[in-house]
Every structure is written in structure tokens, then in C-alpha cells.
Structure 1
Amino acid sequence: MSDQPSPIRSILIVGGGTAGWMAATWLAGRLARQNIAITVVESPDIRTVGVGEATVPAIRDYFRDIGVTEAQVMAATQGTVKLGIEFEGWNRPGGRFFHPFGLYGMPSRGTPFHQFWLRRRAEGDTTPLEAYSLCTQLALANQMMDPPASPPNDLGVFNWAVHFDAGLFAGFLRQKATSELNVTHIEGAVIEVERDGESGLLTGVTLADGKTLAADLFIDCSGFRSLLLGQALGVDYDDWSDLLPCDRAVAMPCERDGPLTPYTRSTALAAGWQWRIPLQHRVGNGYVYASAHISDDEAAATLASRLEGRALAEPNFLRFRTGHRRTFWRKNCVALGLAAGFLEPLESTSIVLIQSGVERLGQLFPDRGFDPALAEEYNRITRLEYARIRDFLLLHYIANGRVGEPMWDAVRSLNPPEALAHKMRMFERRGTFVRYEWESFQDPSWLSMFAGFERLPPAHDPMADYFTPTELDSAMRRMREAIDRAKALAVPHEAFLAAR
């Protein structure tokens, strides 16, 4: 007789919203032939946060995994294109720079492009880095085109993500999961969680109407309450509030009064920053702020005064602690979304953390023996992923140029974690990138930050001295001309959406 533990036969996802339905839809497709019953239980009385409306390009991989197209998602969710993020007032009051989903320029002879740009800058060339990014040029012109399948060189390489209505996206996934993938949907509030007294494994939940639901594997998507992982299993929280200063947000959508921009905008304000996310039917707005420096009423009034059109809802307040659960998988429970942790929406990473979490669960999918090694590896990788994103976000704050404002002055004086400090040292001394395991943001993203905040090295790599000034000037002019030719093939953002 085999000692092989029996396979998982049931999964209970506690909580719906974006996290719950992303998990249910992906797992139902991936496990379609394994005879596993998947159930989502969510309370109709609990509001979802619903402020995460921007994504990163990895979301398009998720769409492909679940068998839908970008066009289908955008049509169902009032979605738009996102080519990156424009930052206003972060480097200095009135200043701006852009973080694109694309490359800058072309390398040569094994030397990264930005080293040539640094050299030309030292020689007096004032051409900004963004002139060498097709993605940035498209975004700032409110244009879009399909990235070429086989670009002739790096100048044509860019990616894109989407903005969408988070509530509509959850509804879209719920419809697909329940109608096409045999996921069971139950409405009800969980009032009790049962555990096995000997093994400590979760065995089931009891709902307010007395119904009990049992399962082999539990996925906690219950939001900040973390009913399963945090409350029932007692997993503590690693709080990063000492590094990332903002602990609250107020959201208020409004009517659009202007072009349909294919990018998110982040505007630094006295006690935090404002997001602007354009959708087809409205504009998402929010003020992410530090409660130590502004009251809730003041934050709401500030946001209301900055809306471009008529407000479409009353202010929706959110309190949060940046950080994550010390473990994300314990016993037979895995947490996703806000139940696992929260890193403020500055770079739109909440949804990609859900995506990577459920994909990682698929890669390490257990049987009913729940080998601890699987959970250990899941937790190791996820901790790294959160820390890498935290450091990227922290750079935005530490590098700020808003002198004379208490919140910004305080965060600028922070001592960064050593991994980030080393990254900053290496780039600011010679423009060298340091790459760590499980980086979510790659070299071009870090370059956009270092250049945008003018944290540039005093000297370039001597390998960039191979070309004469005349040769280099001519090559870089040809790059700009090639980007202009490619951009001429693009169409207005709204025309791109209409043609999908």
C-alpha cells in the first residue's frame, strides 16, 4: 500500500473582491482536470476596498492564463491603457518625470545606453532621458500602438498594462468562474473558524446563518481582517510604518474633464500624494497621506479641491499599516491580497502581488500532507518579493526634493535598508545597477527613478568613451529620429480603445 498522501479535493476561498476572484478563476482553470471543488464565500455586507484600479504589465499574462483578452477585460471594466506613471512634484515643486513600461535607447559594445547618455550630459547635451523612450513619448502624447512582435532593436521595446474599475473586474471574474469554471459562490459572513485540535489544520468555517463549510485547503482573501491567517492561526504582522510614512487614503472618483490619458499620474502633496487613474466612465482619484501630518477632514477637503470634474461619490476612507504577515502560508492556509499584506498603491503593486501569490501556490501546490518545505519556500520567496517592492517605493520618498515640508523632510532623512542603500551607492557613484533575487522592478524602472530624482553619478563608465563625441552625437540623434518615426504610426488613446 502506498504512503503517498491523498490529493487536495476542496479549496475554500474566504472573501471575494479582486483577490478572491483572481485566485478562484486562475486555480479553477489550472486545476480543471483534477476534480477539486473550489468555493468562494463572501459577505454581501462587507465593502471591498475598491481603490486599486491600476496594474503593471504582468496583468496581461494573467489574462492569457485565464483565457481572456485585454479587449474583453477593458470592455467589461471601462478599462484604459496604462503605459506608466507620471510623477509630479516629487523631485521638486513643479517638477515632473515619467516611469515608463519600456526601455531607454540602445546599448552598444556591451555598455548600457544610460552610460552614453551620462557622457553626453557631461559634455553639455541637455536632451532628457525620456527622449530616448518610445513608451514615454507615446504616453505624453496620449497615443498608443500595439508593441511590435519582433522589434528591430531596443528602441521599439515597450509594454503596457491596464487601468480598470476594480469592482467591475471582480464581477467579470466572478461571472467567468461561476458560469464557465464550476466555481461555487456562497454569500455569507464567516463568524467562526474551526481547527483540528491535534494537527492545528483548519477544518472549516461557520457562517452567520449556521451553515458550515469544510475544505482541505483554505485561501484567506478576507482583507485587512485576515480572518484565517491572522486571527485563527495567529500569524503576526511585520509593520513597515517606520519606513513608509503614509497610513491612510481617501478616494473620490469624479467626472473626466480632459483627454483620456494612457498613464497614471502621481502628484506629491504636503502630507502624501494624489493618484489620478483615467477610466472610460470616470477618473479615479485618491489622496494617500500620513495621518501624523494631516487630518482626515483636511485630506478629504484637499482632494475635493483638486478634482478636475464633479465628484461622483462621497469620500471613501481607508486606514492601513504597510507591511505583511510574517508568514503567508501556515498549515493549510495561504493568504492573498490585503490578508497577506499591504504596500501603498504608489507603483500599482497590490494586484500583481495577488497574481504572483496565486501563481506561486500553483507551482508549489500541496497534497493533504502539506509538506512544510512547500510553505517554507513560498514564504521565503514572498518575503523577498515584498521587501524588493518596499525598497523601490522607499526610494521615491528618500530621494524626494520637497525641502521645508515636515513629512518629506523626515522621510528624506531615513536610513534605508542596506539592500536599498547598496543599490543607491552603486548607481550614484558610477551608474551601476545591482540586481537582487525576486526583483519586481528591473533596471529601466530604477533608471527612471534615479534620473527623475537627479540622483546621477559624477562620472560615466569609461567603456562609453569608445566613440568620438561626433559619432556619439550622431548615433543618439538617429535614435531620437527612429522613435519619432515609430511614434508617427501610433493613434490617439481613445481611437486605440475603440478599435479593440
Structure 2
Amino acid sequence: MTASINPLKKIVILGGGTSGWIAASMLAAHLKLGSCEIELVESDDIGSIGVGESTIPPVVRLVTSLGIDEEEFIRETQACYKLGIKFVDWRAKNQSYFHPYGALGKRIGSQDFYQCWLKATKEGDAYDLQDFSPCAVMAAQEKFFLPSQAMNTPIGGAGYAVHLDAKLVAAFLRRYAEARGVVRSEGNCVNVLRKENGFIDAIELAGGRKIHGDFFIDCSGFKALLIEKAMEVAFEDWSHYLPCDRAYVVKTEKAGSRMPYTTATARKSGWGWRIPLRNGTGHGYVYSSRFCTDAEAKTILLKNLDAPRINDPRVISFNTGRRKEFWKDNCLALGLSGGFIEPLESTAIHLIARGMDFFLRFFPDAECERSLQREYNRRMAADYEEVRDFIVLHYCATEREDSDFWRWCKTMELPSSLQERIELFRGHGILREDNDELFRAASWQSVFEGMGIRPQKYNPRIDNLDYQQISETLKLARSAIFNMVKSLPSHDEYLAEHYGLELDSQGRKSGN
């Protein structure tokens, strides 16, 4: 006999910013208008962190899935395109490598490209792995072109993300959500009222107003007012894997051309980011307070700026890890309240959207069936752990021994899941890859190669191919990518052609 459904009539989102307005936008887009009321509560007193946010390719799919015109989104958020991340000084000083998006080579016959490339290196053909990535080649020449406009060409397999201003993103999505019926209320939450069964009944604001709901989404950031303070869900600390716990951030005026990639430069006690925007450049220094004082970190950040700063540097403290449960009863933790993994691979916005995507897949009625919660928590835990392992790889494989921080990283304890990935790859270049993983083979191969971990052997089946075929195919593929990229516009030229006049660092209109 089918049980009756007790539908959610009201969802309350506590907190705005990027996470709150992504949640509101996705609910507004995917729930039937009028069937469920959505109210977002935020305070203008609480500012968002964003000084320039770097993303990964799924954010583009998020925008299009909401029915938003991509060019309009890029124009309104002052965004630039991003083809990947350049890592400087991570393996060793004066060495760099690139983690590209999209394709990395094509199969040769029925054989895997990477395995063919491995054999070629054993045979003495010294082609750089990234020569076969359209994104890496475009980034090296500071070129850009939308791969969707170049299908069936050597760059058709490229992927891309965007650099954007997080505050402008939140404002854009607020307009989007409010236009679709989301109600915004101003106020600070001072109390949480719960029912006898432990479910949240209402949040109480500073003025005494109580906002009741059937379901609550906690987007209150590191404060975690609902999931931690009210629901008492514990935090699983990962600082023994990822020691960085603070970041100094600042924004500068635009300096030189806008490179179509994020730069992550390893420094004495952490790493610095550089994110080009159309209205300036975002900079940050992520570091470990165990190995570096705030004063020293601020000095390192300011010393490495390449343009006059627009605002004053500010420090952000964070704990790396995740909630032991993201969803408990009728409360869902999203964004910083659910967990935080340092921004090295630009996964913050993706994990927010991923959390909402799974919530919509497992969308409950007012009973919030336990089996839905368990499966949601399992899937989100797997995502967070995958990102954690990928980021730890950047640190643990270092050859640097020039500071206490890097010596610690080189000898650190590894999650068993990452240790297994490394051992599997070192043997025959095999990757453990599930269907739903964020980082695919090209990402792991790029970082492994960049950090000096190359398989000892290639797959013996590659010897079934005539080596001349492998060699000629690699030579032609490499040449085709390089020749096409030469003809493309620069990233700045592409932005100028498609987005016209831009804002300079003072907000004045300027030509290109």
C-alpha cells in the first residue's frame, strides 16, 4: 500500500552569499512555483568573503541548467575565462606544471592515449604530456576560444570555467531567485526552536520575529548556526592531512594581460593565488599558522602583489574538514557550514551546487525519510573525500625540503584512499575512477606527472599496436593543436570582442 505524501510547504534558507543564493536559485528553478514557499534570511551586516573566485567547469553547466544566458552571466559578474591552473614551485623551486580542463589526448586505435604516451616516453619520444591538451596549449599562449564554437577541430575537446567576483555572483543570483518568487528577509538569527522529535520548527530573529518552516538549509558559513549550534552535528577535522588554516586576501588593480588561468604559487608556509578578473585581480596567501605568523603571511602577500591594491588585506581563519552528517532531520548544511577544503582546486562553488543537486535528487517530504539522509550523506562524504585526496596529492608528492612546512608535507600521513591511488598509478598508470567522480583521468594524470610521479610500466597491451602508428599519431596531434591555437585570439581580445567596454579598477568605463 502506498503511503501518503506530506509535501514540504516551506523551505527556509539561513544565510545569503554564494551558497544561500545558489540554493535559492536551484530550488526556484526546480520546484513548482507556488507549491513550496522559499524564504532566505540574511543580514547586510555579514559580508561575503569573495575577492575573486576561481571555479571549475561544472559551474558553467550550473548556469545553463538554470536557464541563464552564459554571456549575460559572464558580463554581469565581470568574469574572465579559465582553462586550468598553473602550479608554480610545488614539486621543486623553479619548476611549474599545468592542470588543464577538458581532453588530454585521444585514443589511438582502441588503446588509451595516456598508455600510448607512456610507451612513447619509454621509446625516447620526449613529448610533454600537456602538448596534447588544447587547454594547456591555449593557456601557455594566453589564447581563448569557446570549444563549442570549434567542434570537430583540434581544440573541440577543451573545457573551461570562469574567474568571477563572488559578490556579483550572489547579487546576480539574488535577482534571479527573487524574480522566481523567493522571498528575502533581513535579520540575524539569535535562536533556533525545535520540535519534540528534534526537527527544527523555526528560527528567531533579533527583532523577535519567528520564521517557521518544514525544512531548513544552513548557509550561515563557518558559524554553522543550525547544523552545529542547534543540531549538534560534529565536525570531522582534516588538519592532519591539510595543515593550512588561514588565508590573507586582497584585491588589486588589473596588471598586464588577463591570463586565462589561475596561478597557484607555492611559498614558504603555504601557497599564493592570483585570479584575473575584468575589474582587477584577486590575490590570496593560504598558509599554516603552525609554521607562519599572521604578520609574516601579510608581508609575503603584499611583497608578491603586481599592482596597486584596491582594498586592505584581511585574514580569514578556517578549519579543513567536513560535517559527519550534512543532512540531519530537516536541516541541510551547505557551503562552509557543511565543510571546507582549501581553495587550491577551486571546488567551493561546485560543492555547493553538488550539495543542492543531490538534495533535489533525494528530495524529501516533511517526514525526511532516514534512508534519504543516509544516502545523501554517503554521496556528499565521498565527494569531499575525493577533493581532499586530490588536494593532498599536490602537497605530499613535493620534493621540497627548504622549510619546516614543506618538510612536514613531504613526510605527512596520507589517507589510505590516496595511498591506494598512488600505488595503483605508480605500477601501470591505472586510475581508480568511478562514474560520478569530479576529477577524471586527465586531472589525476596532469598532477601526478607535474609532481614527478610517473608509472614504472605501461599497459602491456599497448605493444599490440605498431609503434610507428603511435609515434606518427602523437606527432600529428601535437602539431594540429599548436597550429590551431596560433590562429586564435588572445584571451583579452576575445573578451573585448564579446563583452565590449569594461570597468577599470575604479569602476569607470574604459576601452580595450
Which TM-score applies when normalising by structure 1? 0.96
Residue 144 of structure 1: aligned partner: 144
The reply on whether 1:191 has 2:190 as its aligned counterpart is: yes
Question: Alpha-carbon deviations, 1:326-349, whole Å to 9, x = none?
Answer: 100001010100010000000001
The reply on whether 1:118 has 2:118 as its aligned counterpart is: yes
Question: Alpha-carbon deviations, 1:135-169, whole Å to 9, x = none?
Answer: 11111111111114684488631111111000111
Question: Alpha-carbon deviations, 1:25-56, whole Å to 9, x = none?
Answer: 11011113352111110111112222460111
Alpha carbons of structure 1 residues 473 and 14: separation in structure 2 relative to 1, 3 Å = same
Residue 350 of structure 1: aligned partner: 348
Higher mean Cα deviation, 488-497 or 77-86? Answer: 488-497
- What letter matches 1:47 in structure 2? G
Residue 505 of structure 2: aligned partner: none
- What letter matches 1:60 in structure 2? V
- What letter matches 1:429 in structure 2? G
Residue 45 of structure 2: aligned partner: 45
Q: C-alpha separation between the residues in 2 aligned to 1:113 and 1:3?
A: 52
- What letter matches 2:194 in structure 1? R
Higher mean Cα deviation, 62-71 or 158-167? Answer: 62-71
Matched ranges for 1:56-455 at <5 A? 56-148=56-148, 151-152=151-152, 156-178=156-178, 180-196=179-195, 198-436=196-434, 438-455=436-453
- What letter matches 1:106 in structure 2? K
The reply on whether 1:15 has 2:15 as its aligned counterpart is: yes
Alpha carbons of structure 1 residues 109 and 3: separation in structure 2 relative to 1, 3 Å = closer
Higher mean Cα deviation, 422-431 or 28-37? Answer: 28-37
Q: CA deviation at 1:237?
A: 0.2
Q: C-alpha separation between the residues in 2 aligned to 1:468 and 1:206?
A: 72
Q: C-alpha separation between the residues in 1 aligned to 2:330 and 2:106?
A: 48
Q: CA deviation at 1:459?
A: 2.3
Alignment root-mean-square deviation, CA: 1.7
User: Structure 1 regions of 5+ residues with no counterpart?
Assistant: none
Residue 463 of structure 1: aligned partner: 461
Q: C-alpha separation between the residues in 2 aligned to 1:325 and 1:470?
A: 53
For the Cα contact (< 8 Å) 2:82–2:260, is it kept in 1?
A: yes
For the Cα contact (< 8 Å) 1:15–1:220, is it kept in 2?
A: yes
Q: C-alpha separation between the residues in 2 aligned to 1:150 and 1:30?
A: 31
Question: Alpha-carbon deviations, 1:350-397, whole Å to 9, x = none?
Answer: 100000001111111111111111111110100111011100011001
Q: C-alpha separation between the residues in 1 aligned to 2:470 and 2:204?
A: 70
Q: C-alpha separation between the residues in 2 aligned to 1:185 and 1:50?
A: 21
For the Cα contact (< 8 Å) 1:384–1:437, is it kept in 2?
A: no
Q: C-alpha separation between the residues in 2 aligned to 1:446 and 1:10?
A: 42
- What letter matches 1:189 in structure 2? N
Higher mean Cα deviation, 52-61 or 344-353? Answer: 52-61
Report the 3-state secondary structure (helix = DSSP H, G, I; strand = E; otherwise coil) of the residue aligned with 1:283: strand
Q: C-alpha separation between the residues in 2 aligned to 1:281 and 1:86?
A: 21
Higher mean Cα deviation, 323-332 or 34-43? Answer: 34-43
Q: C-alpha separation between the residues in 2 aligned to 1:462 and 1:289?
A: 43
Q: C-alpha separation between the residues in 1 aligned to 2:330 and 2:425?
A: 43
Q: C-alpha separation between the residues in 1 aligned to 2:388 and 2:2?
A: 45
Q: CA deviation at 1:465?
A: 2.6
Q: C-alpha separation between the residues in 2 aligned to 1:315 and 1:43?
A: 23
Question: Alpha-carbon deviations, 1:471-490, whole Å to 9, x = none?
Answer: 43222110112112331442
Residue 32 of structure 2: aligned partner: 32
Q: C-alpha separation between the residues in 1 aligned to 2:468 and 2:362?
A: 55
For the Cα contact (< 8 Å) 1:106–1:155, is it kept in 2?
A: no
For the Cα contact (< 8 Å) 2:103–2:159, is it kept in 1?
A: no
Question: Alpha-carbon deviations, 1:105-156, whole Å to 9, x = none?
Answer: 2222332212222222222222211111111111111111111468448863
- What letter matches 1:407 in structure 2? F
Q: CA deviation at 1:104?
A: 1.8
For the Cα contact (< 8 Å) 2:25–2:173, is it kept in 1?
A: yes
For the Cα contact (< 8 Å) 1:381–1:438, is it kept in 2?
A: no
Count residues with an aligned counterpart.
Answer: 498
Q: C-alpha separation between the residues in 1 aligned to 2:408 and 2:215?
A: 44
Q: Percent identity?
A: 37
For the Cα contact (< 8 Å) 1:106–1:153, is it kept in 2?
A: no
Higher mean Cα deviation, 308-317 or 459-468? Answer: 459-468
Alpha carbons of structure 1 residues 154 and 9: separation in structure 2 relative to 1, 3 Å = farther
Q: C-alpha separation between the residues in 1 aligned to 2:205 and 2:13?
A: 13
Report the 3-state secondary structure (helix = DSSP H, G, I; strand = E; otherwise coil) of the residue aligned with 2:251: coil
Question: Alpha-carbon deviations, 1:161-193, whole Å to 9, x = none?
Answer: 111000111011111211x11111111000001
Alpha carbons of structure 1 residues 2 and 109: separation in structure 2 relative to 1, 3 Å = closer
Q: CA deviation at 1:470?
A: 3.9
Alpha carbons of structure 1 residues 464 and 156: separation in structure 2 relative to 1, 3 Å = farther
Q: C-alpha separation between the residues in 2 aligned to 1:216 and 1:437?
A: 33
Q: CA deviation at 1:437?
A: 6.1
Q: C-alpha separation between the residues in 2 aligned to 1:289 and 1:308?
A: 20
Q: C-alpha separation between the residues in 2 aligned to 1:489 and 1:33?
A: 48
Q: C-alpha separation between the residues in 2 aligned to 1:219 and 1:101?
A: 32
Q: C-alpha separation between the residues in 1 aligned to 2:434 and 2:472?
A: 35
User: Structure 2 regions of 5+ residues with no counterpart?
Assistant: 499-512
Which TM-score applies when normalising by structure 2? 0.94
Higher mean Cα deviation, 248-257 or 3-12? Answer: 3-12
- What letter matches 1:327 in structure 2? E
Q: C-alpha separation between the residues in 1 aligned to 2:272 and 2:150?
A: 37
- What letter matches 2:315 in structure 1? F
Q: C-alpha separation between the residues in 1 aligned to 2:450 and 2:353?
A: 29
Report the 3-state secondary structure (helix = DSSP H, G, I; strand = E; otherwise coil) of the residue aligned with 2:22: helix
- What letter matches 1:272 in structure 2? G
